[in-house]
């Protein structure tokens, strides 16, 4: 495929989403938030009364295959419902992690993810963009940061939205989510063999964005 794609993978709250969206904006590329698809699938399953477990895998995968989802002007719509905020809670993240460990759910979402690869190019944010979904991507970045740093960022984010949360609880949650994501049998979280690792612990958003853009420039 000749359509350019930049993959940005990494653990929870490493800043992937912010960096990937900014890189997409600077290049005029499309942006794929693959985590949102797992979050929406989990929400849709729970709303349909399906507990997220292996016993419901086939039915949840069937829902994922025909997810009535639209990404419009920064809003996420499921059917006619605006679920933008509902999918962003910590609980929704944990449910997404559970649903994403079901192999046939992952398979059901592949085509939808591939459909985002259109001209002029794509920046894809997730856990397995470089390892599984776009293995031929010319640039794969693995964006990471220390757990302390990630917990602190998530804490600031929540406070700014008016939620309260303890840093210790947030850190425990994100470490639990990373442990599940890294040890699952299908598409575990890990850097692609040809990924460039960027430690975002001490970088500003602009610094991280500029590093990714510089790497992209080198490949042109």
Among 7, 35, 56, 173, binds ligand C5P (CB under 6 A): 35
Minimal distance, residue 220 CB to ligand C5P, in Å: 26
Q: Report the C-alpha gap between 104 and 163 in whole angstroms.
A: 34
Nearest residue to 107 (alpha-carbon basis) of 50, 41, 176? 41
Residue 39 lies near ligand C5P (rule: CB under 6 A): yes
Q: Report the C-alpha gap between 67 and 46 in whole angstroms.
A: 14
- Is 191 marked as binding a ligand? no
- Is 15 marked as binding a ligand? yes
Among 96, 139, 143, 170, binds ligand C5P (CB under 6 A): 96
The smaller minimum CB distance to ligand C5P, of residues 97 and 211, is found at 97
* Other CB atoms within 10 Å distance of the CB of residue 71: 17
Binding to ligand C5P by CB under 6 A, coded x per residue (else -) over 126-145, reads xxxx----------------
**Segment interacting with ligand C5P, rule: CB under 6 A, options 32-40, 67-75, 191-199, 205-213:** 32-40
**Segment interacting with ligand C5P, rule: CB under 6 A, options 18-26, 89-97, 135-143, 157-165:** 89-97
- Is 18 marked as binding a ligand? yes
**Segment interacting with ligand C5P, rule: CB under 6 A, options 62-70, 125-133, 136-144, 191-199:** 125-133
Q: Which of residues 152-191 bind ligand C5P (CB under 6 A)?
A: 177, 181
Residue 56 lies near ligand C5P (rule: CB under 6 A): no
Query: Taking a C-beta distance cutoff of 8 angstroms, is the pair 14, 145 a contact?
Result: yes
Strand 75-78 to strand 69-72: parallel, antiparallel, or no bridges (unpaired)?
antiparallel
Annotated binding residues for ATP, written as ranges, equal 10-18
Annotated binding residues, written as ranges, equal 10-18
Q: Which residues bind ligand C5P (CB under 6 A)?
A: 12, 34-35, 38-39, 93, 96-97, 100, 126-129, 177, 181
């Amino acid at each position: 495929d000749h359509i350019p794609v930049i993959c940005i993978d990494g653990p929870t709250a490493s800043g992937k989403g912010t960096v990937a969206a900014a890189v997409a904006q600077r290049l005029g590329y499309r942006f794929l938030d693959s985590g949102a698809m797992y979050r929406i699938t989990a929400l849709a399953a729970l709303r349909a009364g399906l507990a997220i477990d292996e016993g419901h895998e086939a039915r949840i995968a069937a829902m994922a295959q025909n997810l009535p989802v639209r990404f419009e002007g920064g809003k996420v719509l499921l059917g006619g419902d605006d679920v933008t905020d509902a999918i962003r809670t910590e609980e929704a993240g944990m449910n997404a992690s559970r649903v994403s460990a079901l192999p046939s759910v992952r398979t059901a979402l592949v085509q939808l993810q591939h459909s985002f690869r259109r001209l002029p190019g794509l920046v894809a944010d997730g856990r397995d963009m470089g390892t599984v979904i776009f293995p031929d991507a010319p640039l794969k970045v693995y964006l990471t940061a220390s757990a302390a740093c990630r917990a602190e960022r998530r804490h600031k984010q929540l406070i700014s939205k008016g939620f309260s949360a303890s840093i210790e609880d947030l850190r425990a949650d994100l470490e639990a989510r990373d442990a599940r994501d890294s040890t699952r049998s299908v598409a575990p979280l890990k850097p692609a063999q040809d990924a460039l690792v960027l430690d975002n612990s001490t970088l500003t958003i602009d610094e991280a964005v500029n590093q990714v853009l510089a790497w992209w420039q080198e490949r042109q």
